[in-house]
Every structure is written in C-alpha cells, then in structure tokens.
Chain A
Amino acid sequence: MGYDKRLDGRKFDETRPIEAKVGVIKNADGSGWFRIGKSTAYAAVYGPKNLYPKFLANPKRGVLRCHYNMMPFSGMGNRVRPGTNRRAKEISMVTANALLPILDLSDFPNSVVDVYIELPETDAGSRCAGICAASLALADAGFLMKDLACSVAVGKVDDKVVVDLDYAEEAYECDAGVADIPLCIFPQSKKISLLQMDGILSPESLKEAMEAGMIAAEKIYDIQKAALKAKYEGD
C-alpha cells in the first residue's frame, strides 16, 4: 500500500509553515527566533568575551560554545526536568560543529562565543530549528559568516522520501519503518555540516533524501535572509 498521503496532507517535499525573526532578545549581542510547524527555537549569542578557564582558549581564534536546552514545558509528554542531559549535550555539540565551517572567529583569539538555544515547544525537528535560530543569531550579531546554516530533517516514511517529519510521522507505524535524518546545509556551497540518522534506510534512499534536503534548504535560506533584512527595513 505504501505511504500515499502525508498525515497532515502536505506534499512529500513540503516543509511545515516556517516563520523567522531576528533581534528578539535585546540583552543579547545577536538573537534569532525560528519556528517550523510547532517546533520553535530562540537563540541568543553572547560574545566574543573572555574565556575562563584559560586552558580552554584557542590562541588562533575564538571558541564557539552551543547550549541546547528544552524548556520544561516543551516536551510532548511529561515535564522535562530542568538541567542538562546526555541528549542535550550531544545536540549542543553537533550544533556547534554544524555552525563552525561557515564561521570565521580568527579576529577573536582566546575568547569564547556562547550561543544559547531554548525551545518553548517541540514537535520533531527541534535540533534543526535550533540550528536555524542560532545561524540567525550569529549573523545578527555581526560575525563573519560565509553562508547561513539551513537545517531541516528529511527522511523516509514507509516507501516515500519526505521533507520535515513531524512527531506523528516519526512515530508512524508501517511495514518499511521510518528513517529520520537531521541535516544542516550551506546553500551556497551545497555542503552538509550536520548528518545524523534514526531508523533504517538504503544508501539510494539516503541520497534521494539529501537531495530533497538541498532544495528545502534554499527555501529556508530565503526565509532567513528576509528575517535578517526585515530588521533594517520599514524605515
């Protein structure tokens, strides 16, 4: 039978509705807000600033630290106990690795740039929303960046490659199973800086999914671009 129609009626290559804003947190050096479907992320950048302890510092360039956190009421089930956990630590690390290739922190030796990502609600694709918000925040803060980071989860539900799975699709029970692939893409160079997978998938389907992700990333870039420009327009 196969997965003929998506649970929420979207096209297979269609993302959920996306909204983006920058400059939403005045205290921060740069900030972003990114919503895809019901996954929403705030990101705030503080830095470059002094780094303690000194042994963590890099004399050639600034160090990027990402902190991903779900607000206690942002889970689909029980309250999420505050404080960090292994999943959050891993996501924080892959988020930093996803952003580093486009970031030039060589003007800031021995310093640190902290990016805080907080999610008030999640419906799958939360780490991707976090990366998109972080990318906006870093650009808003004025850092040298070769590109913007456009992150979205692609995957396969039963026999169809899909873009931007929501929670219902991730949990969908079907014969061939579900594969969920968070991606982060740099649209100018068409390169991938985040690639993870949950599920089971053939190499051919992976390639098809990544290509679908490339196209979705271009749309995300346009939305991020508009959000960054909107701050200066309307004058």
Chain B
Amino acid sequence: MGNILVKEKQIVVPGEILAKGMDYLPGIGTYREGENIHAARVGLTYIDGRALKLIPLAGKYQPKKGDTIIAKVKDIMFSGWSCTTNSAYQAMMNVKDATSEFIPRGADLSQIYQIGDYVVGKIVTVTSQKLIDLSMKGPGLRRLHGGRIVYVTPSKVPRIIGKKGSMVSMIKQATGCKIIVGQNGMIWLSGEEPKNVLLAVKTIEMIESKAHISGLTDIIKQWLEKETGQKIIPKGDENGL
C-alpha cells in the first residue's frame, strides 16, 4: 500500500513528506524514515518509475570526472598550474596535460598559461578528498581570450545548454556571440556588439530564474525574437562548445 503526495515537477522543501507507505523507493535527494519518504533538499520532484527523485534547484558545483569546466589559473608551480573551479576545491593541471604540444623540461610555464588566465578544461580525476586533475588535451579545450564570464547555479547548466545544445545555440544565433558553458556554472561570452553580449547575459539570467518551468524553450525563443526582431530557427548542436 502506498500513497504519493506530490505531483511531477513540484517544488518541495527539506523534510516535506513526498510519499507514505512502502510502494515507492527513495531516490536521489530524498530519504526514507519509517513509513514516509521525505525531501532532503529544496528541489523539483521527478518520478522515475517507482523511485522518487529530486532535481536540485541550488547548490555549489561538485566536481565530477569527465565534466568540461571553465577554470581560472591561480598559481604556477614546478609541475603545472593550480586553478580555481567555482567550487570549494582547486584543480591541478599538470604539465603533461597542459597542451597537445611538447613542453620541454625546465620551460617557463608562465609562457603557456599565466596567473589570471581562464581556460576550458576537462576533469580527468576527482579523488575522495576532492583533489582534481584537469586536462587541456582534447577538442575545444583551450585558453580563453577576451570576453566576459558570468556565473550561474550549476544545476541549471543543463537547461541553459538545452537538449543537444538547442537552447544555447538559439542564444548564439540571436546574439552572434561565442558562448562556452562550463558544467561548473561558469559561462564565457564573447561578442563584437556590447548590447548583443548584454542580451545573451540577460537571456541566460532569465533561463536560470525560470529553469523549473516547462515550455521554457518557447518562452526564450519568443523573447529572443522580440528583442532582436529576427526569426530564430532552433537546431541541435553537439555539446555547446
């Protein structure tokens, strides 16, 4: 016997009872206490078969292997560079992972990446103590020049990228900006016209604040068409790079 007390895509708060009885399983973001399944955070409900899960609406970035992130070089050491990642943890980029080119022993590392540089990198490892290894070897991974960085809640990144990159490619189309979205909630934008960059930033802020609403792609499409006066043709784009 069981009783589910919430609908799909409902906002719930810590402690709130989501279901009674043993029919349902406590999925990610929830926990079972006796007969009840409770929410373990502020989140959006997601019913996956018999599992009740919560999609987080806030929270700092938790580094994961395989994530493509934007990092900022903080320090140069003998063996590489240490970078901040918009999380509680720093990432280490070793000389051997820094570029596809060969770096001779004893080379001046600041010639490759300087303190203050922003880079797009891929997380290779995360240990249990959250030591992170970052690599710059791979397609699209590089140092960023010019442009500006905006910060969003990491859990909203999938919405900003969209299915197969459809959301971010709409913004690129409408504003003519280059946009790189890091899984860690850092987004790099670059464009010739400041007012187009500003439009891209405002659009990203709008997606962030409305991430829990369905039909968002249409809302954003209409907003962009209204602001630019052009027709937007949504299309897919591999991984928003």
A interface residues (Cβ-Cβ under 8 A, vs B):
29-30, 47-50, 59, 62, 102, 104, 107-111, 139-148, 186-189, 221, 224-225, 228-229, 232-233, 235
Contacts and interface: CB of A to CB of B under 8 A. Distances in A.
B60 A29 contact: yes
Contact of B130 (A30, A110, A235): A110
Interface of B: 11, 13-17, 29, 31, 33, 38, 40-42, 56-60, 62, 87-90, 128-130, 153, 155, 210, 212-213
B69 to A, nearest CB: 17
B150 to A, nearest CB: 14
B14 A59 contact: no
Given A139-B42, A141-B59, A232-B212, A146 B129 contact: no
Given A48-B88, A108-B88, A146 B60 contact: no
Majority SS of interface residues in chain B? Answer: loop
B210 A188 contact: no
Given A50-B88, A111-B88, A228-B42, A148 B129 contact: no
A109 B31 CA distance: 21
A188 B38 CA distance: 9
Contacts, number: 88
B92 to A, nearest CB: 14
Given A148-B14, A224-B13, A141 B58 contact: yes
Nearest to A187: B15
Contacts of A59: 129
Contacts of A48: 60, 87-88
B57 A142 contact: yes
A142 B59 contact: yes
B83 to A, nearest CB: 13
Contacts of A148: 13-15
Contacts of B153: 142
Contacts of B11: 229, 232-233
Given A30-B58, A49-B88, A141-B60, 11 more contacts: A50-B90, A110-B88, A110-B129, A139-B42, A145-B41, A146-B15, A146-B38, A148-B15, A188-B17, A232-B11, A233-B11
Q: Which 9 A-B pairs give the minimum distances between C-beta atoms? A: A142-B59, A142-B58, A147-B15, A111-B88, A145-B14, A48-B88, A188-B15, A228-B13, A225-B13
A147 B129 CA distance: 27
